[in-house]
Structure 1
Amino acid sequence: MYWAIKKRRLIREKFFQQNGGMLLQQKIASYKGVQDIAKIFTIKELKTATNNFHESHILGQGGFGTVYRGILTSGKVVAIKRSKIMDKGQVIQFINEVDILSQINHRHVVKLLGCCLETEVPLLVYEFVSNGALYQHIHRENKAAPLSWENHLRIAAETADALAYLHSSHSVPIFHRDVKSSNILLDDKYNAKVSDFGASRLVPLDQTLKTTIIQGTHGYLDPGCLPTGQLTAKSDVYSFGVVLAELLTGKEPIFMDGSGEWILLATYFVSSQKDGNLFGILDDGIVDDDRNRQQLLVVAEIARNCLEERREDRPTMKEVAKDLDSLKMMYEQSSSQHIQEETDFSLSGPSTSTMDPTLEIR
C-alpha cells in the first residue's frame, strides 16, 4: 500500500511538472486575490463530477479536445475542458489561458474556477454556460432556438463591452486573437460570455504583438496580420466585425454560393453594402420594417467600419461598444414605450373617435 500510494503520488508530481505546474503557480501567485478565483482541483473530484468522464457528459468536441458537463459535490454545475495530448507549445498555451483568465473579472467573460494538473492532459474548470455558443443559434445547430433582434443587438453590445474591457480597462491590454461566434457563449438569459483565451496575449501599452505563428480562425482572421505577423487590438476589431456580419446575415464566415464557389463573408458583406444590396442579404428572421430598419442600417455600418482593410481606419473596441450600447438602450426604451402604449390602450378601451357614431352616449 505504501509503495502504491508513493507511486501514484510520483506520477501526479510528474504530470504536475510536465503540465507546467511550477510555472503556472509562479504566474498566478503574483496576482492579488487569485486564490479567490482559481482553485486546484484533484482528478478524483473531477472524475466524480463527470461520472469518470462518461460520454453522456460531453458538451462539445473539436480539434482542441473535449468539454464535459460536471456537477461538483457542492452541487455547482461546471464545464470541464480536457485538451488533447499536448506538446510543449500547447502546455504554454494552457498556462497562458489560466494566467489570463485569473486576472479577469468581467460579467461578460466566462469565469475560470480552477484547473487540475494531476493527469497527463491538464484540465480547466469553468463556470457552466447553459445555452451553448452563439454560433449554434445563428446557424440553427443542435436545434438551438433562433434569436430575436433584441437578443442579437444585446449580445453584440455585451460582447463588444467585454472586448473593450480587455483592450482598454485592464491594467495590461489583452488581445483575444480568436474572436468568433463559437467563442461567445450564452447563459440561461442569453447574456453573452466571451470564452477560449488559449490564443490570447497580454501586451504592454503602446506595443503590438509580433508572432511567427498566426493563430486564429480562417474567415475571422485580420488579413492585415498575414504579411507582417503583427497583431493589434484592431485585429480583434476586424474579427468582431465578421461576427456582426454573421449576426446580420445568418451566413457562415466562409460559405458556398450558388455556383459552388467559396466566399468570404467579410468581403461579401462589404461589397453588398457598397452596392446598396444590404437588405437583400440580411437574415429574414431579424428584419422588421416597422421597428428596426434604421437600427439594422446602423449596425451594418458599424460592422463595415470594423472590416476596413486598413487597421487605422477601423474604430477601437471602446468606440464600437459605446455605439452598440447606445443603440441597445434606444431599442429597449422604444420597446418599453410600445408596450406601455398597448397596455394603456387595452385598459382604457378604444377612443370615442373610433366608436360607432350611431351608439347613444349616456
Structure 2
Amino acid sequence: MSSKAKSERPHNPMTQSHILPTMVPALVLLLFLSSGTTAAGDGSIPSPAVYRTVCGKNQTTNPEAFDVNFVNAMEKIFQNISNGGFAISSSGDNFTAYGLGQCFSYLSPINCQLCYSQSRVKLPLCLPATTGRIFLDGCFLEYSDRNVSSNSVEDGDTFACSNFTVGGSAQETFRNLTTDLVGNLTAAAYLMKDYYAVGSVPVSPGLTVYGMAQCWRSLNASGCRECLEQGKQSIISKCLPADDAKAMNAGCFLRYSTKPFYLTASAGGGGGRGSSSTGHRVTIAVSTVLAAIVVIGLVFLWRMRRSSSICGQDAENEGVNREIIKSITKSQLSFKYEDLSKATCDFSQNNKLGQGGFGAVYKGILPDGREIAVKRLFFNTRQWVDQFFNEVTLINQVQHKNLVKLLGCSVEGPESLLVYEYLRNSSLDNYLFDSFKKTELSWERRLDIIVGTAEGLAYLHNASVVRIIHRDIKASNILLDNRFKPKISDFGLARYFAEDQSHLSTGLAGTFGYMAPEYIVHGQLTEKADIYGYGVLVLEIITGRKNQNSISTSVEGHSLMQQIWQQYNSDSLMALLDPDLEGRCSEEEALKVFKVGLLCVQASPTLRPPMWKVVEMLNSRSKQLPNPTQPPFLSLHKGAISGSSESSDLLSSSLSSRLGGQASVNEISVSIFQGR
C-alpha cells in the first residue's frame, strides 16, 4: 500500500474591518443562518484544544512597555490573519515585541478566527517572559522580543505522543505505513507553495492513519525542510506505535493520527479542503451555492430596508422585517413557538428564572429531556429588529467557555424568544447577596468566578471574531453552571466595534452603579466601561456587599468604593473582607484581588488595565501589582454626587440630563435604558 499526499491552498477568510454599521443586520443574519451548518451538535463551535504552551525562561526588564508592544503586535496579527490565515507583526522601537500567527490550511475561515481567538487569550499567560508560543488544534501563535519569523528549529521545540498504542497483529504494518506516510508528507510539503500537505493510508479494515505537515509561510523552502525533518525524527523514533503524535517546532507542525482530524475540521468548519472525497466536494459546492443565495437575498433585503428607512416608509420596513423573520424561521436554529411555550408550561411564573431590561427568562424542558432557558422579548417591530439581531448575532458569533451558549430562537409567534443553555445555579447575585446561599461561595469558587469572568471579557474585547463591549457587567448577568463556573449572559446592550473605531457614542444604557463615570458624562463607550463594571463586580464578590445599596447601609453615607479606598489608604482592607471568607483564604490572595478590583475602577479610563492584563495579574504568582489611583465616588446621599476625581466633578451637572428624566439621582438601583 502506498501513502498519498496532497497540497492544500488555504482559504481566504472574509474581511470584516470595514463593515458598515447599517449592514450589520444582513451580514449578521448570514452568520446566524450559516452557524447551523458549521456548529457542533449543540449549536456551538467547540473551542480548539491547546496542545502545548512554551514560555521562555528570560523575563523583560520593562514589563509595562513590553506589554503595550505585545498588545499592539497581537492586534496587527488579528487584523491580518483573516486575509489568508497567516500574519507576522512587530511593535515598538524600544522593548519591541514581534508576533507570528499561522492557521493550518485545513481550517475554515471562521474556525481560523476562533482558533486565533483562543490562542490570543491563552498566550499572555507567558508574560512577562520575553518569548512564548502556543500550539492549538488548528493554529499557532508566537511572540518574542526578537524577530523569530525565519527560525525553523529552536531549543524549545517539542513533541507529544498519545498514551494509546496500536497493538496486535497490525502493529508492525502500522509502524511501517505510518513511517512512510510521514516521510512522504515531509518530502512533499516544503515543495508546495503554501508548505502544506495532507494524506492518509489504510492499515487494516477499520484502521486508517492520517497525516498532515505544515510550515509557517515566513520560512524559505530549506528552513521548512529542516523543520519537518526534525519533527519527523521526533515522532517516528519516539512515539510509534502510539496512535497519535504531534511534532511542534519553531517553524512547523507535523502530525499523524488514527482519527481523521483534518477531515473533521474541514467538515465542521464548512469550508476547509482536507477531504478529497466526491461527497465532500458536493457538500461544499451545495453549501457555497446556498450561501451565495442567502448573501444575495439578504443584501437585497438590507437595501430595501435602508431605502425605506431613508424615505420614512414604515410599512415597507415592516414588510422587510417579515421577510427576515421568514429567513430565520427556515434556519436550523429555529424553534417553534408552541414547543417553547409548552416547554415552559405557558411561561408559568413557577418557571420564571429572572427579569432583565428587555424581557423575562423562563426554564423549559424539551421533549428530549434537555433543559433550556427561554428569554421572552417584548417589543414593537422597530425596537425588535435592532434588539433581536443584536443579541442573536453577537452571541452566536462568539464562542467561549465563559460565555453563555445560544441554542436558537423563535420568531414566528406573538413575541420573539431566545433559547439558551440552562445553567442550574442561576445567577451570581442569587448567591452573593443571600445570607444563606452565599455560604456555598467558597474562596475557591469566588476566585474561579472572578478569573472566568475576566477571561470571558478578555475574549470579547481582544480575541473574538468581532470586538464586543458587553455594556452591562453585573452580578445578575453572570450565570453559574452546576460546578459554579461563570458564564457571561445578556447581550442585549452589547455593541461591536469596527477595527478603526476608538469609541462609540451611544445613548445611556446599563445599570447604575456599574456604569463608568466617563460613559455617564460623555456617552462615549469603550471597553474601559466593561473593565469598570468588572472592577465593581470583583469588589462585590470579595466583600459580599452590593454596590448599589452600599450608601444606604453605610453610617457615613459612603459608597462601597469610597469605603474600600479609605481602608486601602489605611492598610486595613481585610476589615472589608466578607466574613464568610475569614480564615478560608490567605491575606495575600485576598489583598491581591482587592487591588485588581481597585485597578479596574480607577477614575481615569486610561489607567484601567485591559482585560487580558487582568487575567494575567490574577493568574500570575507575582506579588507586584501597580498601585491604584482613586476611584470616582458616586455618593448619592441627599441628592448630591461627590468626589474628587476628574470624572466625578462632571457628574452632578450632567447626570440628570443624561438620564432623560427616567430616574431620580436618589434611585441608585434603577436600570436605565434609552432607545437606540
1:33-182 to structure 2, matched below 5 A, reads 33-35=34-36, 36=39, 37=43, 39-86=333-380, 88-140=382-434, 143=437, 145-182=439-476
The answer for the alignment partner of 1:274 in structure 2 is: 569
CA drift of 1:90 comes to: 4.8
Shift >6 Å, 4+ stretches? none
Q: Are residue 307 (structure 1) and residue 601 (structure 2) matched?
A: yes
Cα 1:32/1:165, change in 2 over 3 Å:
farther
Q: Which amino acid in structure 2 is aligned with residue 277 of structure 1?
A: S
The whole-number CA distance in structure 2 between the counterparts of 1:251 and 1:54 is 32
CA drift of 1:262 comes to: 5.3
8 Å Cα contact 1:211/1:229 also seen in 2? yes
Cα 1:265/1:84, change in 2 over 3 Å:
farther
The structure with the largest helix share of the pair is 1
Cα 1:133/1:262, change in 2 over 3 Å:
farther
Cα 1:274/1:196, change in 2 over 3 Å:
same
Cα 1:75/1:173, change in 2 over 3 Å:
same
User: Comparing 176-185 with 136-145, which one deviates more in the overlay?
Assistant: 136-145
Cα 1:208/1:271, change in 2 over 3 Å:
farther
8 Å Cα contact 2:337/2:413 also seen in 1? yes
Q: Which amino acid in structure 2 is aligned with residue 313 of structure 1?
A: L
The whole-number CA distance in structure 2 between the counterparts of 1:63 and 1:311 is 26
The whole-number CA distance in structure 2 between the counterparts of 1:115 and 1:141 is 36
1:323-362 to structure 2, matched below 5 A, reads 323-326=617-620
8 Å Cα contact 2:401/2:487 also seen in 1? yes
CA drift of 1:267 comes to: 3.1
8 Å Cα contact 2:473/2:514 also seen in 1? yes
TM-score with structure 1 setting the length: 0.78
What stretches of structure 2 of length at least 5 have no aligned partner? 1-23, 44-331, 623-676
Total equivalences in the alignment = 306
The answer for the alignment partner of 1:287 in structure 2 is: 582
SS in 2 for 1:110: coil
The answer for the alignment partner of 2:76 in structure 1 is: none
User: Comparing 226-235 with 298-307, which one deviates more in the overlay?
Assistant: 226-235
CA drift of 1:100 comes to: 0.2
Pick the aligned partner of 1:189 from 459, 483, 493.
Answer: 483
8 Å Cα contact 1:208/1:230 also seen in 2? no
8 Å Cα contact 2:359/2:378 also seen in 1? yes
Cα 1:296/1:171, change in 2 over 3 Å:
same
Output one character per residue of 1:105-142: Cα deviation in whole Å (capped at 9) or x when no partner: 11110000011111232110000011011111110178
Output one character per residue of 1:282-327: Cα deviation in whole Å (capped at 9) or x when no partner: 11111327x5110111111111111111111110000001222336
TM-score with structure 2 setting the length: 0.43
The whole-number CA distance in structure 2 between the counterparts of 1:145 and 1:118 is 43
8 Å Cα contact 1:248/1:300 also seen in 2? yes
Cα 1:141/1:178, change in 2 over 3 Å:
farther
Cα 1:233/1:26, change in 2 over 3 Å:
closer
Q: Which amino acid in structure 2 is aligned with residue 283 of structure 1?
A: D
The answer for the alignment partner of 1:27 in structure 2 is: 28
The answer for the alignment partner of 2:539 in structure 1 is: 245
Output one character per residue of 1:234-257: Cα deviation in whole Å (capped at 9) or x when no partner: 111111000010011111112234
CA drift of 1:63 comes to: 4.3
Cα 1:214/1:102, change in 2 over 3 Å:
same
CA drift of 1:230 comes to: 0.8
CA drift of 1:33 comes to: 4.7
